[in-house]
Structure 1
């Protein structure tokens, strides 16, 4: 296996970050949420996407055709 210094650096940072919060996923998530709230960057939440089934994917035989 090839030793990639960038991958090693990312793994080392991830381990240090997790250790800072006792390797507790809930504490890590809370810390990340807090950091996100304190950030002045614009956050994007596009929300859920509407899924539209194609006519051929419809499982109901008596369904009306979808508008095009």
Structure 2
């Protein structure tokens, strides 16, 4: 089977990062928000798209 060394490295780093927070998703999100705020970069967020009538009919 073919292995992608870059992808394996990304998975390893991600696993180590999650493990450093004991896999606590709230702690991970808090850390990422802190890093984002400290970066000094402008944050751009797009508003949510309104739900279409078609998708509402499908869910009913």
- Tell me which interval the TM-score lies in, with the shorter structure as reference length: 0.7 to 0.9
| Root-mean-square deviation over aligned CA pairs | 1.7
Larger % of helix: which?
2
Unpaired runs of at least 5, structure 2:
none
Unpaired runs of at least 5, structure 1:
60-68
Q: TM-score, normalised by structure 1?
A: 0.67
**What is the aligned length?**
55
Distance in 2 separating the partners of 1:12 and 1:6: 10
Q: TM-score, normalised by structure 2?
A: 0.75
Distance in 1 separating the partners of 2:19 and 2:47: 32
Distance in 2 separating the partners of 1:34 and 1:6: 27
Structure with bigger gyration radius: 1
